[in-house]
Structure 1
Amino acid sequence: MDQTDLLILAELSQNSRITMKELGAKVHLTGQAVASRVAKLEDTGVLEGYTIKVNPSQLGCFLHGFITIFTNSHNHQPLLAYLATQGHYIVNNYKISGEGCYLLECRFPSNEHVDQFLDGLSEHANYKLSMVIKRL
């Protein structure tokens, strides 16, 4: 990887729908040359995929929270099975070290949905909830 590859990644991070011709112009290469570099970044696993960014508030999920989970037993399967049924609320699920066993990033449409989610969660683990006030 060189500086040009880093520039390509930066541009694709900003707009993954950019044409190869436009991308090439931004990094001072032809469209064909930049397409070859992008293909190489994909083949080597540096570039894993392309995605979209969705505004959760526009979908009605106004409440944003982080939940640190403290498991009650060494068998995490019941907890993980419950979380799999609640995937529509979970943005990210991380297995962590330090305080807690898992860290969930969640989005909810209402306090009632948060309460229902936490009621189900409490059957499998203890938790600490932190709600987002504002993104800086």
Structure 2
Amino acid sequence: MSPYLIDDTDYRILQLLIEDSTLSHKDIGAEVHLTGQAVGARIRRMRELEIIEGYTIRWNPLRIGQNMHAFITVFLSTNAAHLPFQNFAKNHSSVAELYRISGEGCYWMRVRTVNQEALAAFLDELLGYGNYRVNLDMGQIK
């Protein structure tokens, strides 16, 4: 059995969906030389294999007032703080992403807030778990 779960056609379908998840099966089929029905079957199989985990959209947070974009490295004060911190981060609406990391720090998170005051309030809450280092977004390159 091949170590890869998908073939070149599946990979091309996946790339097309990554570029634009609103493409119809028929439109994808025209690109990969399959019927829309065959494309649908391949997409279902990739979902069953958990290669495709879901669909998302690209959005502009500035258009809805989320003007502060911060990258925060978190340094927890104790080992006992991990689970409470994870629960805090998972449930806080300002936290867009959270990763446990190696190297400097314990966690890395992406945070979006409406303004500097909201970011400061978030950071005040964060102090209950440990220290942090903040880097602010100055403009996206890619």
Q: Give TM-score scaled by structure 2 length.
A: 0.89
Matched to 2:65, the amino acid is G
1:85-117 C-alpha deviation (Å, 9 max, x unpaired): 42x111101011111000010111100001101
Gaps of 5+ in 2: 1-5
Pair 1:53-2:58 in alignment:
yes
Rate the CA distance shift 1:84–1:6 in 2: closer, same or farther, 3 A.
closer
CA contact (8 A) 2:89 2:98 kept: no
For residue 77 of structure 1, report the CA deviation from its aligned partner: 2.9
Q: Where do 5+ consecutive residues of structure 1 fail to align?
A: none
Distance in 2 separating the partners of 1:97 and 1:54: 30
2:17 aligned residue (3, 12, 26): 12
Pair 130,36 (structure 1): closer, same or farther in 2 beyond 3 Å = same
**Residue 83 of structure 2 corresponds to which residue in structure 1?**
77
Provide the rounded CA distance (Å) in 1 between the counterparts of 2:20 and 2:130: 40
> How far apart, in 2, do the equivalents of 1:42 and 1:84 lie?
25
State the TM-score, normalized to the length of structure 1.
Answer: 0.93
Taking the aligned partners of 2:18 and 2:87, their CA distance within structure 1 comes to 33
Q: Give the ranges of 4+ consecutive aligned residues of structure 1 lying more than 2 Å apart after TM superposition.
A: 77-86
The residue type equivalent to 1:102 in the other structure is Y
> What is the aligned residue count?
135
Looking at structure 2, the residues matched to 41 and 107 of structure 1 have their Cα atoms a distance apart, in angstroms, of 32
Identity %: 37
Cα distance in 2 for residues equivalent to 1:48 and 1:81: 23
In 2, Cα distance between equivalents of 1:25 and 1:85: 42
